[in-house]
Structure 1
């Protein structure tokens, strides 16, 4: 009979107690039974979980990764059993969230007090980063990202769409002039990202054809919030999501440039999570909350086509 969850429980206790004998005493087993169970798990996985010596043992890199996964799986099992026993899905536990810096700072963080009020037993561990995230590797339950979902191991729910817009501060335009067509950008300082996946070409619709224009400038950064600030400070022209600079344009701190040359430059905004049969209650509750609260804001601030 498959009893991998039981094996995981024993393994986790060995890690937490630091010894086979202490685990055996805690779980009413013999030390030899605990040792055999760990060895059987290592054989099944094809990796060494512990570095053993006569006086001590320590987790290997693979052992640490397996331990972290086991803790999360066992927590999900406990939550599932508790929800059935109590007749409802109790929303509790640790929720790890990763969101791009602009979206997190301007939209998600202001919503968290309401979420915590609704679900006080959920501990939210939130990271803001524009870097690419891999849910399992980075131990993330939920991520909010821009762009199409290409990984079949993830599921996604649609939050909205946002135009990418070319913007600059009035001060920059006063000093360097206003570009009237895309080709004018080659004479301007264009702000860009330093991601490996980033491109230094901006798409424009010229005479009915899609053209990718190479741009360059004196500033690179790893996140959209810094790029926005550089644009606000008059250091160059940037290409950012309308949701990100909507208020800046409305109050005149930034000016949208070349709007009729990029009407199809649109990106999807989605909330992604692992493609698994049973979604933990804490994850499901957070996703439903974000879709209900965030999607209407993005529909307004994503900006209509020019």
Structure 2
């Protein structure tokens, strides 16, 4: 039979990843959970989960059913709280996606404070540089660095990310400190990209923009790795201030060409969420918390 308890159980299995995990959280047995899911599949006439010995994988029908089931469960919970007059404090599971570097550098230090402020919330964090299908994957909010083009999503500006060129004192002592952007052509410039095209760094020079082709022995897709490579003396790197700040303060990294601002001067950092429904309180408090913290941590 298809009822709210069946939908809720199915969503739990998908979130926790196994019958055993659900059984532990609901104080039942894995076989009982399996039987309930089987009865739901029989009622629907479709296989929702492909069972293996170690995990359950969603079928195509399961992915479609999960999107609707998750929303129904959330709507029922919201309606119950509204009618019963229960606490309006945010609760449930908050599903977030953001880039690994951003999560490690900015979210990780402040997450304990957020969870302490909202004890009824649980956070599921998916780290990815890809632009996820928020609705299809059931993600509540994404945090992204850069300009956003998808008009089907709502974006709230949290802060701006500013970058600068840095290098280790040892690298500059051994190879010389560039005085002009053109000097970078003769130096090792570490790139935050792994592509065959040549990288160019752009500088504001008066009223014009100066583009300088750069080349180095290291190209990576991780800002954290890029920072460590620069600290190791492998070359000059372009890093956001929020990645390099601690090492700049300690002197392990020093600014390069501070008199030539990079172009563009800043990149937006935004919280992105789907349109078409009222913003859930758990998403609203998370966005407000990030905006307050990132305003001082990034800019």
- The TM-score normalised by the length of structure 1 is 0.75
2:174 is the alignment partner of 1:175: yes
2:103 is the alignment partner of 1:86: no
For residue 152 of structure 1, give the secondary structure of its aligned residue in structure 2. coil
2:74 is the alignment partner of 1:76: yes
Check 1:162–1:141 CA distance in 2 against 1; reply closer, same or farther (3 A cut).
same
Check 1:279–1:136 CA distance in 2 against 1; reply closer, same or farther (3 A cut).
same
Distance 1:285 1:176 in 2: 49
Q: Which moved more, 1:158-167 or 1:257-266?
A: 257-266
For residue 172 of structure 1, give the secondary structure of its aligned residue in structure 2. helix
Question: C-alpha deviations, 1:37-71, integer Å up to 9, x for none?
Answer: x47xxxxxxxx87699xxxxx98742132133134
Check 1:83–1:128 CA distance in 2 against 1; reply closer, same or farther (3 A cut).
same
How much is the aligned-residue C-alpha RMSD, in angstroms? 3.4
Check 1:119–1:274 CA distance in 2 against 1; reply closer, same or farther (3 A cut).
same
Question: C-alpha deviations, 1:222-246, integer Å up to 9, x for none?
Answer: 2111111111111111111112212
Partner of 1:213: 212
Check 1:93–1:133 CA distance in 2 against 1; reply closer, same or farther (3 A cut).
same
| Alignment size in residue pairs | 270
Distance 1:150 1:79 in 2: 33
Question: C-alpha deviations, 1:144-190, integer Å up to 9, x for none?
Answer: 22112211122122221232111111111111111111111111111
Q: CA deviation at 1:251?
A: 2.0
For residue 260 of structure 1, give the secondary structure of its aligned residue in structure 2. coil
Structure 1 residues without counterparts, runs of 5 or longer:
25-30, 40-47, 53-57
2:21 is the alignment partner of 1:22: no
For residue 210 of structure 1, give the secondary structure of its aligned residue in structure 2. strand
2:289 is the alignment partner of 1:289: yes
Greater Rg over alpha carbons, structure:
1
Partner of 2:186: 187
* Conservation of the 8 A alpha-carbon contact between 1:201 and 1:215: yes
Partner of 1:64: 62
- The TM-score normalised by the length of structure 2 is 0.77
Check 1:252–1:131 CA distance in 2 against 1; reply closer, same or farther (3 A cut).
farther
